Structure 1
Amino acid sequence: MTLGTLYLKLKKHWRAWLKMFYLKTFEGYYLTSPQNINEEIIISFTTIPSRISSTEFMLRSILAGRHLPKVFLMNVDIKTSTLLKDNRFLNVLVERGLLEVNIVDDLKSYKKLVYSMKKYPNHNIVICDDDVLYPKNWFKSFSDYQMGNRDLKKIVCHRGHNVKLNQNGQLESYKTWDFDVTTPSKITTMLFPTGTGGVYYPKNSLPPVAFNSRLFTKFAPHADDIWFWLSAISNNCHFGLLKNKVNYRDMYEIPDSQTFNLWSTNVNENKNDIQLRKSIKYFFESNLINESNIYYSLLFPTYNKIKDDSFYHIS
């Protein structure tokens, strides 16, 4: 590593390293201090072998806030699960009942939510990423929202994108959308929740189609956020930003955790656009989004444009 590369790395990650040092040093405090538990929420995530150490620090960052869910649910394939025994901290959390390891089939990024909603159908789910250090009040904001909106069918997040339409009312390319909207007043057409900042799914927000692996592996194999978004739309679910949200810039990427970045691949190679349009066509032609749906008029111009395109043929 050259001095220049080292300098850039330090400049980008020094805050994350400092926070990781703090979390490691004060482990005893936040593992033994009283916790505020919300029994109605599960925090759900997945990881891969190369990110097990990142997962440890992600969990440390949430635990430091002392506002916790009923349980942290880690959905992992069997290969990853066999490696967890080497991480002392994760094993301590399992022993104390704070972390539950759920061994599942490898459905890639879909593991984060699909299996949790199946296992805990009567709970609300907050998903998070395994490569982020979250601020101490991150989960508290979700918990406060849930306690004040128990019967509201609304998916909320700390960070989302503005859906962008062209002059014909059709969806623009995903990479041209207004990314990282953080103020409710800035939402113009509709919000597209993004998982990095955390997303809250109330227990009645997603219909059965959201969990159909035969369908999502066919139409959106690498875009779970797109598939869940359209599933929620088909269920007439609303979307919004948390009012007492945390600053997205205070969510630090854990250094060296991004050896593979699915988001960059999807966006830079326009794979999100392909998966989005294939999925829209499926939802319309299966009558899951029809004229009775509150979002029908928003998405119909896009469907009308692609419905005769052989590239998006549904067999």
Structure 2
Amino acid sequence: MNLIRDVLAQFRYRWLRKYKSLAGSNLKRNATAITEKQWLQRDVLERQKHPLPGQLIVNLTSFPDRFPTLHLTLKSLLLQSVQADKVILWLYESDIKKLPQSIVSLQKSGLTIAPVSTDTRSYKKLIPALENYPNAFHVTADDDIYYRPDWLSTLTSAYTGNNREILCWRAHYLRQTKTGHIKPYRQWYPKSEVRGPDPNLFFTSGAGVLFPPGCFDERVTDQTLALSLAPYADDLWWFWLASMNSCIIRRVGNNPKLINWKGSGGNSLWQFNKRDNGGNDAQLHTLLSHFGLPPTLEDKG
């Protein structure tokens, strides 16, 4: 019976993913036109104040290869039906002078461009934000994604006052053996339909994650340690340091297809981290060796 149930569950999951991919194909074709049209109409769009009991900051980073389409992502963030208090683009200081006018001009519409003295790749997205605004609610975004208008409102409306619960749009499901060992990354369930809260949900920060103030272990901003243990896997670092602080994860929204801009190159780091001989598994091992298993992933051995 368990085998039949598992087969049916996998069939349903695959059907849902296929359906959502097809449902998002029209939006993918038209996301650029939709964004530009809404941007021209931005002064008449109705937007609401967020319901959170503190400052709300949306954070992302980028690099010159992504600059040609970055303005589209930024516009979709600035057009959200619920307004953030700040939308901050954290950039390596030497890259700022390479920004096109299409991005620089967005500072007049609410964008903040903040320089970072060291290029720490994807870690620039959140570590400087946590250091400069330790009491804020931080939301993460990627630089190559179209964010639907209800993206931010869905995250913020799901907050219940529990600062040990992290909210995310998309998550994989981390799998463990019967003795509590973490299975290889390729054996996790991707783009899980599980809502949680569940400590085995592994959020993907680019799809959108709401981190309440104080949700991380205090070592989360140790940039040197992060780069030594997980240099190319910032999501593992955020997950591990949140789990070390006994946080659990809940997924919100309807798990839609992510829309990447044509020509943005997709998520090459994601492809790197799927490798058998490195990637997430190697970096997960170093985190496990340094910190041990987080309390939320109970050791069953």
- TM-score bracket for the superposition, by shorter chain length: 0.7 to 0.9
Contact kept in structure 2, 1:135 and 1:246, CA below 8 Å: no
Distance change >3 Å, CA 297–CA 19, structure 1 → 2? closer
TM-score (norm 2): 0.83
Contact kept in structure 1, 2:247 and 2:296, CA below 8 Å: no
Q: What residue is the counterpart of 1:280 in the other structure?
A: 288
Q: What is the 5 A alignment of 1:236-255? A: 236-242=246-252, 245-249=253-257, 251-255=258-262
> Which digits, 9 at most, give the CA deviation of each residue in 1:27-70, with x for residues without a partner?
22124534323362100000111112322111222333331210
1:45 to 60, 73, 77: 60
Distance 2:30 2:215 in 1: 38
Q: What residue is the counterpart of 1:304 in the other structure?
A: none
Contact kept in structure 1, 2:219 and 2:241, CA below 8 Å: yes
Q: CA deviation at 1:94?
A: 0.9
Distance change >3 Å, CA 78–CA 231, structure 1 → 2? same
Alignment pair present for 1:28 and 2:40: yes
**Unmatched segments (≥5 aa) in structure 1:** 1-11, 302-315
Alignment pair present for 1:65 and 2:80: yes
Q: Secondary structure at the match of 1:20?
A: helix
| Amino acid aligned to 2:192 | V
Contact kept in structure 1, 2:233 and 2:280, CA below 8 Å: yes
Distance 1:116 1:188 in 2: 26
Distance 1:188 1:65 in 2: 28
Q: What residue is the counterpart of 1:19 in the other structure?
A: 31
Q: What residue is the counterpart of 2:218 in the other structure?
A: 208
Distance change >3 Å, CA 117–CA 29, structure 1 → 2? same
Q: Which of the two has greater helix per residue? A: 1
Distance change >3 Å, CA 294–CA 168, structure 1 → 2? closer
The aligned length equals: 273
Q: What residue is the counterpart of 2:142 in the other structure?
A: 129
Identical columns (%)? 22
Q: Comparing 176-185 with 120-129, which one deviates more in the overlay?
A: 176-185
Q: CA deviation at 1:14?
A: 6.0
Q: What is the 5 A alignment of 1:162-241? A: 162-184=173-195, 190-241=200-251
Q: Secondary structure at the match of 1:239?
A: strand
Q: CA deviation at 1:188?
A: 7.2
| Amino acid aligned to 1:175 | R
Contact kept in structure 2, 1:219 and 1:275, CA below 8 Å: yes
Q: CA deviation at 1:231?
A: 0.7
Distance 2:43 2:60 in 1: 20
**Unmatched segments (≥5 aa) in structure 2:** 1-23
Contact kept in structure 2, 1:78 and 1:103, CA below 8 Å: yes
> Which digits, 9 at most, give the CA deviation of each residue in 1:58-116, with x for residues without a partner?
122233333121010111102321122x223x3333123x1111100211111111111
| Amino acid aligned to 2:274 | V
